[in-house]
Amino acid sequence: MDILANLGDGFAIAITWQNLLLALLGCFLGTIMGALPGLGPSNGVAILIPLAFTMGLGATPSLILLTSVYYGAMYGGRISSILLNIPGDEPAMMTCLDGHPMARKGMAGEALSLSGVASFIGAFIATWGLILLAPQLVKIALLFGPAEYFALFALAFMTLGGVSSTNQAKSAFAAALGLGLATIGVDTQTGVPRFTFGEVHLYDGLDFLVAIVGLFALSEVFIFLENRHGGSDAEGKKISIGKLYPPLSMLKQCTPTMLRTSLLGFVAGVLPGAGASLGSFISYSMEKRLVDRENTFGTGDPRGVAAPEAGNNAAAGGALVPMLALGVPGSGTTAVLLAVLLALNITPGPLLFTQNPDVVWGLIAALFIANIMLLAMNIPMVGLFTRVLMVPSRILMPIVAMVSFVGIYGISGSTFDLLVMIGFGMMGWGLRKLDVPLVPIILGTLLGNAMENNLRRAVTIDNGNWWTLVDSPLSIALWAIAIIGFVLPLIIGARVKARMHARRDSEGAISD
């Protein structure tokens, strides 16, 4: 009953004209961001962070806008996958397998509508999972001391590469780089400046919002400038939609698939580092083994569209659980959302549900509202979203750059921050060319200070005894999970990723 009462309070907060309009705006912009190949939810949220702060929004409206963008981008990734066989982001890769063959059969509209329904069901079930599971995690987290929090942060770093990661060394390097950047500024305990080189602007450390916008948004602009002669694969293509609504028989056939894969995807999303990519892959793989008795998957089977879409949207909702309850992001996009919360002086974790219940329950209520908006928006407006795919990058990227510069300057009013943002943009461009993941860098700058403070506090409490870090059963369990999460990708990561690409290539060839 407490949950229902809290959810009712959340709807009272979310159902205002401002919040409803922000949710609608976020859903629309997020769907566009997700539909454009290469952008995806992380970049979409990062690009629009300056907009949220420039508008002077409070904590709850900002989160409603950005989480609506997050959900919208997860919906939008399917559009280019189905119509062009180009995934909007990695989780949408599995949707290509049956979505594009359906489009080639003249069933593009039905595939898009069916995937929209599957996305709705996956996100709806995940939001209920968030309501039920997050408070239980909070009760466990209240048992945490400094040593356990240090182990939890280590777990976040060691698992963020994900099960499909093929190069843990690059993930470890990125995390170390982020932790190093977090040490810049005045030491909070000794008052000694660290790595400031006499620059007064660095005494407060690096602003992680500046780092996020530079690493994600500006690096995308630099990559476009480097490849500006190539053009987009989507530009100039005539896209046919066909019949818009799937028949009831198709929805009835796919309903068990959507329910099964939603539950599976949610579990994958809750696991730190697993994320929507794994949720999409295991949902498709499990459903293929379970129901594909006639070998129709990969040739345009509607269940092959519903399974990965329900799975990856459920995983996106599941990734919010550890972020809100423990303060540890479950995916790259939730790491960006974590930065927004910290910038608003709100600390995610076990005390969030008691200190800021209006933020948590208002956000959860807004997720339900955004999900309904996305379903209502994505089916009748599919034609509009597909035209976005034909917008040339030479028009789109200057808009991204303008939003980044105007937004960051509007937040801080400092030209020094603009220079730092350009520096992060150049660094992000170089690291992306070397296939070094950017999310661990962001996570390092976000959690570095808290990780250092908890390490110092734990060792100081036990009079300099470093064994205190593994002195409790809870910390031992966290360290064990962290080590398994780091070693497992070294053993199976290449195999999982190879199977994802091999299945797409082989079944794509069959459909051709």
Domain ranges of the chain: 1-227+240-509
pLDDT at 259: 92
pLDDT at 234: 46
Q: Which residue has the tokens 């099960």?
A: 163
pLDDT at 422: 92
pLDDT at 511: 46
For the chain, first and last CA: distance in Å?
A: 54
Do residues 443 and 125 make contact, with C-beta atoms less than 8 angstroms apart?
Answer: no
CB atoms within 10 A of CB 462: 15
Q: Cα(458)–Cα(465) distance, rounded to whole angstroms?
A: 9
Ordered mean pLDDT values, 10 residues apiece, the chain (512 residues): 81 88 89 74 80 80 88 81 70 78 82 88 91 81 80 77 59 87 85 85 82 82 74 49 75 89 86 65 80 78 88 86 80 79 80 83 89 84 68 75 78 84 92 84 81 88 86 87 77 60 53 47
DSSP for 201-268, written as a single string: GGTT---HHHHHIIIIIIHHHHHHHHTTTT--TTTT--------S--HHHHHHHHHHHHHHHHHHHHH
Residues 408/410/413/416 CA torsion (nearest 10 deg):
20
Q: Which residue has the tokens 């092959």?
A: 304
CA-CA distances (angstroms) from residue 462 to 8, 147, 259?
45, 10, 49
Q: What is the 3-state secondary structure (H, E, C) of 406-458?
A: HHHHHHHCCHHHHHHHHHHHHHHHHHHHCCCCCHHHHHHHHHHHHHHHHHHHH
Strands 185-186 and 193-194, sheet pairing: antiparallel
Q: Which residue has the tokens 């490849």?
A: 227
Q: Which two tokens stand for residue 247?
A: 């028949």
Do residues 141 and 323 make contact, with C-beta atoms less than 8 angstroms apart?
Answer: no
**74 phi and psi angles, rounded to 5 deg:** -65, -35
- Would you tell me the crossing angle of helices 96-104 and 108-141 to the nearest 10 degrees? 160
Q: Which two tokens stand for residue 189?
A: 């305990």
CB atoms within 10 A of CB 294: 8
pLDDT at 323: 84
Side-chain-side CA neighbours of residue 470 (13 Å): 8
Q: CA 173, 178, 181, 185 torsion: positive or negative?
A: negative
CA-CA distances (angstroms) from residue 302 to 34, 41, 117, 456?
21, 25, 12, 55
CA-CA distances (angstroms) from residue 41 to 70, 265, 345?
5, 17, 23
Q: How far is CA 417 from the centre of its chain?
A: 25
CA-CA distances (angstroms) from residue 31 to 117, 159, 220, 391, 442?
14, 28, 18, 14, 24
Q: Which residue has the tokens 């034609």?
A: 383
Amino acid at 463: N
Q: Cα(393)–Cα(407) distance, rounded to whole angstroms?
A: 21
Please return the burial class of 509, using the count of CB atoms within 10 Å of its CB with bins 0-12, 13-18 and 19+.
exposed
3-state secondary structure of 194: strand
pTM: 0.73
* Contacts for 69 with CB less than 8 Å, ≥ 6 apart: 26, 27, 29, 30, 33, 41, 44, 45, 48
pLDDT at 429: 92
Residue 280's nearest CA partner among 326, 318, 325 is 318
- Would you tell me the crossing angle of helices 439-461 and 168-182 to the nearest 10 degrees? 60
pLDDT at 165: 47
3-state secondary structure of 22: helix
pLDDT at 134: 82
Residue 99's nearest CA partner among 117, 119, 79, 76 is 79
pLDDT at 163: 42
